[in-house]
Amino acid sequence: MANPTTKPRTGQKPIRVVLVEDNAGDVYLLEKALQQLQMNYELIRYIDGEQAIRALQKDDHSIPDLILLDLNLPRREGFDVLRIIRSRPSMVGVPVGILTSSDAVGDRHRVAILGAERYIRKPPTLEEFIDQVGRAIKELLDSTGPTTA
């Protein structure tokens, strides 16, 4: 089941961020990166690929502004989730960032072919994670503009 977290700021609609990530530590760091950006956001988390696919296939009324996706997930891998996202007409224009520990050239190539806008390798330290992932999120959102603004 999705685990939504909302951090409201007065007068602004929240940026809807879907995160498909099974590692609670990475979720915590991602939230720190979002908080550092001082944006109003709603974080919707799915802990495995199957859960994300089911939710994203059935809900055309709640299109996210950004999807962040790990590749190494339980039940269905991130490549499958990305393929489904890119097959949905309602998801056209939604930026997808791959957030993974993999540095394999083959993985980078495959996600580019499947339509991910950004490949973000998880940095090794807390400070680097918050800084680099936060910067990547800002760039992904700035490149398309939020759909709920």
pTM for the whole structure: 0.86
Does 66 fall in a domain?
yes
Q: How far is CA 90 from CA 25, 60, 110, 112, in A?
A: 31, 6, 22, 20
C-alpha dihedral, 79 to 48 to 94 to 68, nearest 10°: -90
Instruction: Give pLDDT tens digits for 42-86.
Output: 999 999 999 999 998 886 667 899 999 999 999 999 999 999 999
Domain that holds residue 114: 5-142
The DSSP symbol for 29 reads H
Say what the pLDDT of residue 77 is. 94
Q: What is the CATH number of the domain that holds 42?
A: 3.40.50.2300
Side-chain-side CA neighbours of 48 within 13 Å: the count stands at: 6
Does 148 fall in a domain?
no
Residue among 19, 49, 57 at smallest CA distance from 137 = 19
Does 94 fall in a domain?
yes
